[in-house]
């Protein structure tokens, strides 16, 4: 039986439940007015017609089943892995803000819930690109709501939520499996193993880590919002191409034989300096000759090289900037990040229309990058981290759905030219064209806090997409060798992560160089960074083959001890505690992990 056939066999089968009498609360919002009514659910589904949404701004849907009381057994789990038990009197988790989608919106249109009255997976459909999830506790009464936003666009098809009941003893691994099987069945994603024939670079990516080298940048947040050739701030140089070559040589001399280097800020103006313009290569770093030399030497030593770029954020300092290429909102205004705290090195960034970015820049730029000798998982910022807003420019109008289809085309072009695609976030609207994501979640929750509904993070997203999309679990994961917290390293293993390390990740005035950050500032920092990279690479090699496998189970064996299981029978046990933990015939050391292989003839 192969893995695809095995995936049809559910560990805990969905059970038939008579939901004909089930109802949900629908709360229709327009301005400060909210109208509440009860709606019938048929076979676990609540369905709304497009015309239902034409005169309202947003909708909350709370199935009767999606309620719990403080002190009850059970949990809820959200797409990035936030899991909570029913212990709080009050609190809220908003994956949407008043119906207006934000970057924290769910990367999958699902949540799971277990209460004494049932266990189920809830999935939004039809309007999932304008969908969020809200969890609230008020007076000890919990509700989980699906939220649909109609402020910018109106639905053109039926939409709603459907619940699938699972057996009472099912957990979040079975919830994730249900959605994973649906994604496979409709062809939304294929496994890494299935893609190897068309993408041979994946075999190299799976067995190696990525090292992102941030080379240069202008001040951020920038005080010069509208930059031009006369007022553009100077680029600060952190790593020249020559210095980067020294790093590659040192890593090879230390025994590292495979890996991928992604240069960040190699372009004109440095990191986030002048997109969509990238040429000429930033002269302060060594220019085009220095870049070519770095690529050639790295490739000769067996390493892959990719170049970070961005086809969304556009800056006025770019010699190719044209307001006619920007996305406009429904009022006809050019969309930008004006008023945002995220003002990057290039100043105020304007939102490029994906159609115009595709037509003017993507194919040409990716072919130029490939011609330099780049190969690997090409990193393009933002694409998988952001649901692009519609464009209302009559010259190139796009719905949100059409805009995201251009994201698919961009990621597919990266595969065609350089070998693979890599972007920032875990949103699965591009699951079919995304090979790797930089981080699934921001900061991990490891212990419950009185003021938070979340108890801890679990690998819910990874239980769906491990074996199909490479990932790093948290923002902390990119610098974990420099962290005093051993848990950051262990979470990489528990969550099945492929390490991506980041050198000089100094954003927004961060000054702790050398303290929790990988740097190449001086010889001592250089040596320490080399040691850290080599150690991470060597440790990852011992479990890298697991990236080909589906993650099929996850649980706590004891407080502070987590087991993660894969479809080939291999398991990892991670021990966060201060004492060794006995598992089968071996002791898992304190603050360490071990791999257990149950296949016949295999050792630990």
Q: Where are the alpha helices (DSSP H) in 16-153?
A: none
**For the chain, what is the domain count?**
3
Please give the Cα distance from 319 to 309 (Å, whole number): 16
Q: Tell me, yes or no, whether 556 and 417 share the same domain.
A: no
Q: Which single residue is written with the structure tokens 């890599």?
A: 422
pLDDT at res. 604: 52
Q: Tell me, yes or no, whether 313 and 344 share the same domain.
A: yes
How many CA atoms are closer than 13 Å to the CA of 97, on its beta-carbon side?
Answer: 4
Instruction: Determine if the peptide bond prior to 132 is cis (ω within 30°).
Output: no
Sign of CA dihedral 515, 516, 522, 526: positive
Q: Tell me, yes or no, whether 123 and 216 share the same domain.
A: no
Question: String of b and e for 576-596 (b: at least 16 CB within 10 Å)?
Answer: beeeebebeeeebeebbbbbb
Q: Tell me, yes or no, whether 532 and 558 share the same domain.
A: no
Please give the Cα distance from 588 to 573 (Å, whole number): 7
Q: Tell me, yes or no, whether 227 and 82 share the same domain.
A: no
Instruction: Let me know if residue 463 belongs to a domain.
Output: no
Residue 601: burial class (beta carbons within 10 Å; 0-12, 13-18, 19+): exposed
Strand ranges in 461-583 using DSSP code E only, listed in sequence order: 470-471, 500-503, 551-558, 561-566, 570-575, 581-583
Using left for φ > 0, alpha for ψ between -120 and 50, and beta otherwise, residue 564 falls in beta
Instruction: Let me know if residue 454 belongs to a domain.
Output: no
Q: Which of 425, 518, 513, 506 is nearest to 220 (CA)?
A: 506
Instruction: Let me know if residue 432 belongs to a domain.
Output: yes
* Number of neighbours of residue 424 by Cβ within 10 angstroms: 18
Task: Determine the Cα angle at 93 with ends 388 and 383, to 5°.
Answer: 20
Q: Where are the alpha helices (DSSP H) in 329-392?
A: 354-357, 363-371
Q: Tell me, yes or no, whether 181 and 255 share the same domain.
A: no
The domain boundary residue, chosen from 127, 153, 185: 185
Q: Tell me, yes or no, whether 226 and 319 share the same domain.
A: yes
Please give the Cα distance from 59 to 28 (Å, whole number): 5
Please give the Cα distance from 218 to 85 (Å, whole number): 44
Please give the Cα distance from 219 to 94 (Å, whole number): 32
Residue 14 belongs to domain spanning: 3-185
Tell me the pLDDT tens digit for each residue of 509-530. 654 444 478 999 999 999 999 9
Please give the Cα distance from 564 to 585 (Å, whole number): 18
Task: Determine the Cα angle at 182 with ends 180 and 188, to 5°.
Answer: 85
Using 50 as the pLDDT threshold, list the residues of the chain that sit under it.
Answer: 1-19, 96-104, 511-515
Query: Is residue 159 classed as helix, strand or coil in its secondary structure?
Result: strand
Q: Tell me, yes or no, whether 276 and 370 share the same domain.
A: yes
What letter would DSSP give residue 247?
H
Query: Is residue 2 classed as helix, strand or coil in its secondary structure?
Result: coil
Residues 6+ apart with CB under 8 A from 535: 481
Helix axes 287-300, 241-253, angle to 10 degrees: 10
Beta bridge partners of residue 334, listed in sequence order = 328
> Can you give the CATH number for the domain in which 411 is found?
3.20.20.80
Q: Tell me, yes or no, whether 121 and 165 share the same domain.
A: yes
Q: Tell me, yes or no, whether 154 and 221 share the same domain.
A: no
502, 516 in Cβ contact below 8 A? no
pLDDT at res. 82: 94
Please give the Cα distance from 82 to 444 (Å, whole number): 9
Q: Which single residue is written with the structure tokens 């705290």?
A: 341
Please give the Cα distance from 96 to 286 (Å, whole number): 44
Instruction: Let me know if residue 222 belongs to a domain.
Output: yes
pTM for this one?
0.94
How many CA atoms are closer than 13 Å to the CA of 373, on its beta-carbon side?
Answer: 15
What one-character-per-residue DSSP string does 160-227 give?
Answer: EEEEEEE-TT--HHHHHHHHHHHHHHTTS---HHHHTTT-THHHHHHTS-EEEEE-EE--SS-S-SB-
Token couple for 375: 């190969």
Beta bridge partners of residue 593, listed in sequence order = 574
Please give the Cα distance from 60 to 35 (Å, whole number): 10
Instruction: Let me know if residue 535 belongs to a domain.
Output: yes
Q: Tell me, yes or no, whether 128 and 159 share the same domain.
A: yes
| Secondary element (H or E) of residue 122 | strand 118-125
Residue 331: burial class (beta carbons within 10 Å; 0-12, 13-18, 19+): exposed
70, 142 in Cβ contact below 8 A? yes
Give whole-number Cα distances, 252 to 249, 295, 518, 530, in Å.
Answer: 5, 15, 18, 10
Q: Tell me, yes or no, whether 423 and 324 share the same domain.
A: yes
Q: Which of 372, 355, 281, 272 is nearest to 314 (CA)?
A: 272
Instruction: Let me know if residue 193 belongs to a domain.
Output: no
93, 78 in Cβ contact below 8 A? yes
Token couple for 511: 């000054």
Tell me the pLDDT tens digit for each residue of 262-309. 999 999 999 999 999 999 999 999 999 999 999 999 999 999 999 999
Instruction: Let me know if residue 372 belongs to a domain.
Output: yes
Question: String of b and e for 181-199 (b: at least 16 CB within 10 Å)?
Answer: eebbeeeebebbbebeeeb
Instruction: Let me know if residue 225 belongs to a domain.
Output: yes
Query: Is residue 17 classed as helix, strand or coil in its secondary structure?
Result: coil
Tell me the pLDDT tens digit for each residue of 459-498. 999 999 999 999 999 988 898 888 777 899 999 999 999 9
What one-character-per-residue DSSP string does 458-487 give?
Answer: --HHHHHHTTTSEE--BGGGGGGGG-S-HH
Please give the Cα distance from 414 to 429 (Å, whole number): 17
């Amino acid at each position: 039986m192969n893995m695809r056939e095995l995936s049809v066999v559910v560990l805990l089968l969905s059970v038939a439940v008579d939901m004909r009498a089930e109802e949900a609360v629908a709360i229709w919002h327009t301005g400060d007015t909210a109208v509440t009514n009860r709606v019938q659910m048929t076979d676990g589904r609540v369905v709304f017609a497009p015309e239902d949404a034409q005169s309202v701004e947003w909708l909350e849907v709370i199935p009767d089943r999606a309620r719990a009381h403080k002190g009850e057994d059970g949990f809820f789990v959200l797409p990035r892995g936030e899991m909570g038990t029913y212990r709080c009197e009050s609190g809220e988790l908003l994956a949407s803000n008043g119906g207006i989608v934000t970057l924290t919106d769910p990367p999958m249109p699902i949540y799971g819930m277990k209460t004494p009255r049932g266990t189920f997976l809830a999935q939004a459909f039809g309007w999932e690109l304008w969908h969020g999830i809200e969890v609230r506790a008020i007076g000890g009464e919990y509700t989980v709501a699906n939220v649909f936003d109609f402020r910018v666009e109106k639905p053109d098809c039926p939409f709603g939520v459907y619940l699938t009941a699972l057996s009472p003893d099912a957990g979040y691994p079975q919830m994730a499996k249900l959605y994973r099987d649906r994604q496979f069945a409709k062809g939304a994603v294929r496994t890494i193993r299935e893609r190897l024939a068309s993408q041979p670079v994946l075999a190299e990516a799976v067995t190696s880590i990525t090292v992102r080298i941030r080379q240069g940048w202008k001040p951020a947040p920038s005080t010069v919002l509208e930059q031009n050739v006369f007022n553009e701030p100077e680029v600060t140089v952190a790593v020249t191409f020559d210095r980067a070559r020294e790093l590659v040589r040192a890593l090879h001399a230390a025994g590292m034989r495979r890996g991928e280097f992604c240069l960040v800020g190699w372009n004109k103006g440095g990191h986030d300096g002048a997109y969509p313009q990238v040429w000429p290569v930033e002269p302060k770093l060594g220019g085009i000759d220095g870049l070519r030399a770095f690529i050639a030497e790295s490739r000769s030593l067996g390493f892959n090289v990719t170049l970070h770029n961005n086809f969304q954020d556009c800056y006025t300092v770019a010699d190719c900037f044209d307001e006619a290429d920007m996305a406009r909102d429904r009022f006809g205004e050019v969309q930008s990040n004006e008023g945002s705290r995220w003002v990057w090195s290039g100043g105020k960034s304007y939102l490029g229309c994906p159609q115009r970015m595709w037509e003017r820049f993507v194919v040409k730029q990716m072919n130029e990058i490939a011609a330099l000798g780049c190969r690997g998982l090409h990193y393009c910022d933002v694409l998988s981290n952001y649901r692009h807003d519609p464009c209302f420019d009559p010259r190139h109008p796009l719905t949100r759905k059409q805009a995201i289809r251009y994201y698919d085309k961009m990621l597919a072009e990266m595969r065609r030219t350089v070998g693979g695609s890599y972007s920032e976030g875990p949103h699965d609207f591009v699951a079919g064209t995304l090979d790797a994501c930089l981080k699934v979640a921001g900061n991990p929750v490891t212990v419950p806090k009185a003021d938070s509904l979340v108890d801890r993070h679990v690998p819910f997203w990874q239980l769906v997409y491990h074996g199909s999309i490479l990932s790093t679990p948290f923002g902390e994961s990119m610098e974990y060798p420099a962290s005093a917290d051993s848990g950051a390293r262990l979470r990489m293993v528990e969550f099945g992560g492929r390490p991506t390390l980041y050198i000089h990740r100094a954003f927004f005035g961060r000054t702790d160089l050398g303290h929790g950050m990988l740097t190449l500032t001086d010889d001592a920092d250089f040596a320490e960074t080399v040691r850290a990279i080599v150690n991470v690479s060597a440790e990852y090699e011992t479990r890298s083959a697991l990236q080909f496998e589906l993650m099929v189970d996850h649980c706590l064996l004891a407080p502070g001890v987590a087991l993660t299981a894969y479809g080939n029978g291999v398991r990892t046990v991670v021990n966060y505690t201060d004492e060794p933990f006995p598992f089968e015939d071996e002791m898992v050391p304190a603050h360490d992990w071990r791999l257990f292989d149950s296949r016949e003839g295999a050792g630990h």
